[in-house]
Structure 1
Amino acid sequence: MSNTVIKIENLSKIYRLGEVGTGTLSHDLNRFVRMNILGQDDPYAKVGHVNDRTQKAEKGELVAALRDINLEVKEGEVLGIIGKNGAGKSTLLKLLSRVTSPTTGSIKVKGRLASLLEVGTGFHPEMTGRENIYMNGTIMGMRKWEIDRKLDEIVEFAGVAKYLDTPTKRYSSGMTVRLGFAIAAHLEPEILVVDEVLAVGDAEFQKKAIGKMQDVSQNQGRTVLFVSHNMGSIQHLCNGVTVMNNGSIIYRGTTDKGIEKYLNLNIGNTNKSLNERTDRKYSGRIKFQDINILNEQGIQIDQIPTGCAVSFRLKIQANTKVEKVGLRLLFVNTKGQTLFLCNNAYSSQLININKDLNIDCFIPKIPLPEGIYYLHLTAFSENGIEDDIEFVKEIQIISGNFFETGKTPVLKEGLFVDHHFEIDNGK
């Protein structure tokens, strides 16, 4: 743990909005002369605006996706990187993985780095799963015999043996994620970088992936950088966190204090309408516009008695036809810990959306004790995340007659489960 394997100094990444590339020819020449001949700072790196996605941007405006990042990561550390959508987390990982180059600053990495950033990253769609395994291993600097030794383990972990010699363009997003993670985790990199992409996988695979990351860090002494919006996974896996906001690091320290800092940033957004929320992952195809809570009579309510029948009405805008859409409502407590979720992929079936519509998620008996909770919304398809917003609504649960006995358990006893007891008379 004493050796530094990643050292980032004064790192910034500047983008020009509405333009392809980093600037005009005159700007590039000006930058070259200032930095390489006159030894001055980059004239276009000093940006007055941070990457605040809530503000309207002008075409041609320079925006800092990352701004003066300084960070050291030790060998064997499992570092969680958390922050709102648009905070700069994925940009930082892309720079570490050399997918793109920094505008200013430096990154020093000691050892081989394997990354899993997005569904299909690093895969050639026309190549088979087997060919992509060897290609990725070669890119990481491994010899063929090293990849041969790990091949069976990779295939077994990913669960794609039947389709190993099928072109990856025919893989589902879940298969692609499983294979990509298996390659990244098993080819023995000194540093493993994993973005939120694990959220696409099913619950069983997520459990396997987190177990593998624990094994890589605890038993093999390797370093893991883990980006996730699931605070339960962050708390369970990471021994430290970095909190990012508007392209800057605002906290580096213990996991518990970092999660508290992150939650404080997000809770204020629950007062905004969904149309105003820009801190979202959005494909541009379908979009959450509004959410309302309705009681059993269809009347809008602000407080929910525990045990009450309730519907969460989602207003969705469709800009094109999207097939096989899954809708996920994730209920979390004030510490960001997941309590339960509703997902039509599990309870009913995926839906096709080709027009604006309202969709009700009906819960016949809300299982939450009295208190304050928050709701996250995600729409996903075979292409990945379509729209994803955290802390969309504050939910206030008030005392209710859940068991129809007039008795209410206390909050520390957890979620309510409808049940009853019977005496066995030996009949």
Structure 2
Amino acid sequence: MSEIAIQVEHLSKQFRIGANSFQKTFRETVSDAMLAPARRLRSALRGQGTQAATKEFWALRDVSFDVNQGEVVGIIGHNGAGKSTLLKVLSRITEPTAGSAMIRGRVGTLLEVGTGFHPDLTGRENMYLNGAILGMSRAEINRKFDEIVAFAEVEQFIDTMVKHYSSGMYLRLAFAVAAHLEPEILIVDEVLAVGDAQFQKKCLGKMGEVAQNGRTVLFVSHNMAAIRSLCQRVIWLNKGTVLKDGPSASIVNEYLMETVTSSSSRVDLSEATRQYDFGKRLKITELTFNNGEPILHGQPLNVSFNYEAYSTVYGVSFGFGLSSLEGTRLLSIDSDLYSSRYTIHGGNKGQAHVIIDTLQLQPGIYLLDVGSRSGDGNALDYLPGCAQIEILPGPTTPASMSRLDYAGSVRLEGRWQWTQDATKELD
């Protein structure tokens, strides 16, 4: 039996929300003391009490779970579900109101940009400080020093005070220290969103390496692709309690299904935020799949574009794409590849339609990109990742397909032949 690295039993954390419920600075405390008599006088004249109203808020309520040594566990949930509070309790940053959390092993924590860094120390000094906090000897830190600096890409700034770092530099160094100083348990909150795409990929690769080396990882993220690829198991928090706990693929799928609204087959784009000058000359106001009916695997797909033109545009084409949650494009449909382009006069509203005879993307959740361009190739409107689209099993979808979610999203039927020594099993 694997040794338990993290043991959480009936953990609860309560906060008091109100005027006096948060910690104050020394300056605020002195100021409040000086102004208190005047406030009490005003309250008496109004006939009100002097005690500010507070209310209790349970960020965590009776949370219990175990994490075995070497296990990589994702923590997911909507904003306010209690994910960050849980990690702060496990990292000994805040005390629980009730229950207990036992940690067996040296812990490396990255809960926000620059956790544990002192702004008036240089990058070099902070590396040794963080290492000491983790229980590392100076010799151990020296051995990892060059590797950490190279990973963080801050060589020329390593002797600069970190208060002068950009947020990206701060993050790179903080993550590099937390991941390279070989803690037995690595706790990482949703900090990778601060970095650029290249650095996020680099961090995820390092976390995968940490996991393969048999160390324990707790990872909070809204990036379900990262959770699915890194974690063997997922704990889903909802309103401070454990809603689900199980294999990452099934829990992530359930979580994503909940995030899809019932109107996902009809996407209102009229008020969507656009970058640059997209939507100024022509705007796609709505995209409708199957007249608002569910989208089914193996069945025809009918897509309608509603648009408004604010000036005359020539050679107009429309298109949409469906991508995996990792951002890999799986399906692209563009009108200019298969039909003529059109002139649309300013002030006109209209529709464009496209039909796909058989939709071969397997059941699941996909990201939608929508766009339109003019005859000179310039984008008229572009909305990347503007909605999540759900494809449901159709009447011809094999029941076994639900077990193949890890094997790609486009499933095509082929002509198979077996040698005579293979025996067909009964259905």
Q: TM-score, normalised by structure 2?
A: 0.60
Corresponding letter in the other structure for 2:203:
A
Structure 2 counterpart SS, 1:166 = coil
Preserved contact between residue 113 and residue 193 of structure 1 (Cα < 8 Å): yes
2:379 aligns with none
Q: 2:110 aligns with which of 116, 123, 130?
A: 116
- Segments of 4+ moved more than 6 angstroms: 292-296, 304-311, 368-372
Mind listing any 5+ residue stretches in structure 1 that lack a counterpart? Answer: 24-57, 272-288, 312-330, 341-365, 377-390, 398-410, 415-427
Q: How far off its partner does 1:260 sit? A: 1.8
1:140 aligns with 2:138: no
- Give the whole-Å Cα distance in 2 for the aligned partners of 1:270 and 1:82: 24
1:182 aligns with 176
Preserved contact between residue 296 and residue 309 of structure 1 (Cα < 8 Å): no
Q: 1:291 aligns with which of 256, 264, 272?
A: 272
1:15 aligns with 2:15: yes
1:412 aligns with 2:397: no
Q: 1:167 aligns with which of 161, 179, 182?
A: 161
- Give the whole-Å Cα distance in 2 for the aligned partners of 1:332 and 1:179: 35
Q: How far off its partner does 1:266 sit? A: 1.9
Corresponding letter in the other structure for 1:143:
S
- Give the whole-Å Cα distance in 1 for the aligned partners of 2:66 and 2:198: 33
1:239 aligns with 232
Preserved contact between residue 84 and residue 266 of structure 1 (Cα < 8 Å): no
User: Number of residues paired by the alignment?
Assistant: 290
1:260 aligns with 253
Preserved contact between residue 82 and residue 241 of structure 1 (Cα < 8 Å): yes
Preserved contact between residue 88 and residue 247 of structure 1 (Cα < 8 Å): yes
Preserved contact between residue 287 and residue 304 of structure 2 (Cα < 8 Å): no
1:4 aligns with 4
Corresponding letter in the other structure for 1:11:
L
- Give the whole-Å Cα distance in 2 for the aligned partners of 1:253 and 1:395: 25
- Give the whole-Å Cα distance in 1 for the aligned partners of 2:19 and 2:246: 37
1:249 aligns with 242
Deviations along 1:122-166, whole A, 9 cap, x unmatched? 111111100111111111112211111111111011111110001
Matches within 5 A, 1:310-329: none
- Cα distance change, pair 247–269 in 1 and its aligned pair in 2 (3 A): farther
Q: 1:229 aligns with which of 222, 225, 244?
A: 222
- Give the whole-Å Cα distance in 2 for the aligned partners of 1:140 and 1:310: 58
Mind listing any 5+ residue stretches in structure 2 that lack a counterpart? Answer: 24-51, 265-269, 290-301, 309-320, 330-353, 370-384, 392-408, 413-427
1:300 aligns with 2:294: no
Q: TM-score, normalised by structure 1?
A: 0.60
Preserved contact between residue 109 and residue 187 of structure 2 (Cα < 8 Å): yes
Corresponding letter in the other structure for 1:120:
G
1:405 aligns with none
Structure 2 counterpart SS, 1:107 = strand
- Give the whole-Å Cα distance in 2 for the aligned partners of 1:259 and 1:227: 13
Structure 2 counterpart SS, 1:95 = helix
Q: 2:152 aligns with which of 140, 158, 173?
A: 158
- Cα distance change, pair 248–136 in 1 and its aligned pair in 2 (3 A): same
Deviations along 1:26-68, whole A, 9 cap, x unmatched? xxxxxxxxxxxxxxxxxxxxxxxxxxxxxxxx95110110110
| Greater Cα shift, 5-14 or 199-208 | 199-208
Q: How far off its partner does 1:301 sit? A: 1.8
1:100 aligns with 2:61: no
- Give the whole-Å Cα distance in 2 for the aligned partners of 1:215 and 1:159: 19
Structure 2 counterpart SS, 1:14 = strand
2:327 aligns with 338
- Cα distance change, pair 298–180 in 1 and its aligned pair in 2 (3 A): same
Corresponding letter in the other structure for 2:272:
I
- Give the whole-Å Cα distance in 2 for the aligned partners of 1:192 and 1:212: 12
Q: How far off its partner does 1:300 sit? A: 2.1
Q: How far off its partner does 1:85 sit? A: 1.1
Q: 2:62 aligns with which of 58, 68, 77?
A: 68
- Cα distance change, pair 164–222 in 1 and its aligned pair in 2 (3 A): same
1:401 aligns with none
Preserved contact between residue 260 and residue 389 of structure 2 (Cα < 8 Å): no
Matches within 5 A, 1:323-402: 336-339=325-328, 373-374=366-367, 393=387
Q: How far off its partner does 1:267 sit? A: 2.1
